[in-house]
Chains A and B, each alone.
Chain A
Amino acid sequence: MSILAHQSTKLLVQGITGNEGLFHTQQMYQYKTNIVAGVSPGKGGEWVLDGKIPVFDSVKSAVEMTGADASVIFVPAKHCADAIFEAANANLPLVVCITEGVPVQDMMRVKRFLAQRSTRLIGPNCPGILTPGETKIGIIPGNITQPGNVGVISKSGTLTYEVLYALNQAGRGVSTCVGIGGDPVKGTGYVELLEMFEADAKTDQIVLIGEIGGNEEEAAAEYIARYMTKPVVAFIAGVTAPPGKRMGHAGAIIEGREGTAQEKIKTLESSGIRVAQHPEQIPTLLN
């Protein structure tokens, strides 16, 4: 079955007429993602991709007309919280937010709002979801991986591609790859996805890619030790990162003694999880 995104997923693109939105709509379309609609306030009635995809003024009208059941967001950071609220208000079950640089307080309000809703948010500041051979929601290059039995969860973008590529070189395919994003406050975390992969018949083992900052990897380690029967291999970036410096991602910062890669690796290993020293070593640690 794979998780979250399937061949049957009917996707709408928020911010479809912007540069990024349009480019990646094209890329997703080529991957045979079932894109049913776009939303761009003020541009309702237009069409994109040579008349293949209709544009609506609002998420609500797009959902009513097309039956979309997932959304991907490419709108600029300043309109991002509003775009998520709009998608949740239209009761979309899945929203994937690619946008980078969303203010933290916006995300805290979004997070609290979503707690009372049925919408699952992935991201922001993430590359999205790829279910190889089925569908792609977001920007993960489709040609670097193939269908298989490894589930991938990651906070990062290109580092994830590096891992998918290394897996592919070693002949390993992927059930679903989910980028959860590198922001400190985000929609979905490791633990929820681990739970989904554990229940997914197509996934036999999981690769978890983490980085410095916060304690989500530690929480994931505890969850894995307690509840997971499927093997997990991890990689943590930032062993050589200096404290107090934000390493690109808003969430990638060592604060005081918290959030170091060393601490995360120690916790993961003591929970029985194999941790790779570099991305290309990951395939060799899989079963």
Chain B
Amino acid sequence: MKLHEYQSKQIFARHGIPIPEGRIAGTSAEVKQIAEELGGQVVVKAQVLVGGRGKAGGIRLAKTAEEAQEFANLILASEIKGLPVRKVLVDEAVSIKQEFYVGITNDRIRQVPVLITSGAGGMEIEEVAQKNPEKILRTEIDPLLGLCDFQVRDAALGMDLPRPLWKNFTEIIQNLWKVYVTCDASLAEINPLVLNAENHLVALDAKVIIDDNALFRHADLADLRDMDAEEPAETEAHKFGVTFVKLDGNIGCLVNGAGLAMATMDILSLCGGKAANFLDIGGGASAEKVSASLKIILNDPKVSSILINIFGGITRCDEVSKGILAAVTEMKIDIPLVVRLVGTNQEQGLRLLQQTNFTAAETLYQAAQLAVEHAKESVS
């Protein structure tokens, strides 16, 4: 789960990482007032969960409170990469002498946390990694031992940080490590960390991503989820414990298991079709869950045929059929339905569906072919 900059900065502040003075606002009048309180010169920053806000005009430096209000009007009325801007962060302007990059994230390949530091701050770190990989220093962290001070000093040395700042830098990085651990972050990033005119290090931007698997022990963070950044159907599916990802094809898919759901999408493509979604009902799904999932698929007006592929183990085919029947009866749909049921209670499941207008398939490949044919027929 991605957190907004202002949310991430609140977490930083609680962990003793210096941030610019600033406040969050939802209207331009509020922005003006905050700007006045902060002395006029402020940065107005769109709070949306996508990168490249600056280039999209979502970050503006204002010289006066009035100008801040004007910028806020523009930004709050805009969309950035399809996401509406509902809030802006108003931060005091900071004079910048030097910019650095620091971040702690999971190294998937080495399977340990890694501290990434660079003297090339303020740019997208992926870009730096590509163009100037020598400017990036990676420090692996022992997850049982934690981040050691000597490792931070090595990182400081690696980015030519002036010696008088080492102590201050070590404090900040150790606090960032605390953020990473206590919040179960998969990323805790400061880009840029700046050296201001007073020779202090300040986190000008903040980015924290929380591991979804760990949200059970962070109820306070789970509440920060921004629904605007999510596809409404995905949020709806989440409520039922179903994993749903919207895609741009026209064949709805309902599958049990993530790997099988991906494989089902792939076979549709192999047969010349395109999946409208990824949908995994999980293991042992109830009729209610199946029915809710099918309704989510049916709510997509682009869907012109549906492929249901169930490999019953803990999931019972008859339970799935009951769910299909409930949804079909309630929604009164006439979209062609191709069903492939294999495994636990397969016969009972197929028998239940005899009263509906569906096509049964034996193999997965055959099911995909039928779904693609049906989709083409309904479109033409």
Contact B144 A109 (CB under 8 A): yes
Of A104, A159, A238, A251, the residue contacting B257 (CB under 8 A) is A159
| Contact A156-B214, Cβ < 8 Å, known A104-B106, A161-B311 | no
Contact A278 B267 (CB under 8 A): yes
Contact B211 A104 (CB under 8 A): yes
Q: What is the total number of residues of chain A having a CB less than 8 Å from a CB of chain B?
A: 58
| Contact A105-B263, Cβ < 8 Å, known A162-B311, A248-B280 | no
Q: Using a CB-CB cutoff of 8 Å, which residues 134-178 of chain B contact chain A?
A: 142-144
Contact B364 A241 (CB under 8 A): no
For residue A21, give the distance in angstroms from its CB to the closest CB of chain B: 13
Asked whether A242 is an interface residue with its Cβ less than 8 Å from the other chain, the reply is yes
Asked whether A272 is an interface residue with its Cβ less than 8 Å from the other chain, the reply is no
Interface-central residue, B262, B270, B344, by most chain A CB under 10 Å: B262
Contact A158 B259 (CB under 8 A): yes
Contact A165 B111 (CB under 8 A): no
Contact A182 B258 (CB under 8 A): yes
Q: Which residues of B contact A241 (CB under 8 A)?
A: 262, 265, 278
Contact A105 B311 (CB under 8 A): no
Contact B257 A102 (CB under 8 A): no
| Contact A240-B143, Cβ < 8 Å, known A182-B259, A185-B111 | no
Task: Report how far A239 CA is from B311 CA in the complex, Å.
Answer: 21
Considering only CB atoms, which chain A residue lies closest to B183 in the complex?
A: A105
Q: Which residues of B contact A139 (CB under 8 A)?
A: 283, 313-314
Known: A108-B143, A239-B269; 17 extra A-B contacts, CB below 8 A, are A104-B211, A108-B113, A111-B111, A111-B143, A112-B142, A140-B313, A162-B263, A162-B364, A211-B262, A212-B262, A237-B262, A238-B266, A240-B247, A248-B261, A256-B126, A279-B263, A280-B363
Residue pairs across A and B with Cβ atoms less than 8 A apart, 23 shown, are: A77-B213, A104-B184, A139-B283, A154-B259, A156-B259, A157-B260, A160-B259, A182-B259, A184-B111, A211-B259, A212-B262, A215-B109, A237-B263, A237-B266, A239-B266, A240-B247, A240-B262, A247-B258, A247-B262, A247-B278, A248-B259, A278-B263, A279-B263
Closest 8 CB pairs of A and B: A248-B258, A156-B259, A158-B257, A159-B259, A103-B214, A237-B262, A158-B260, A108-B143
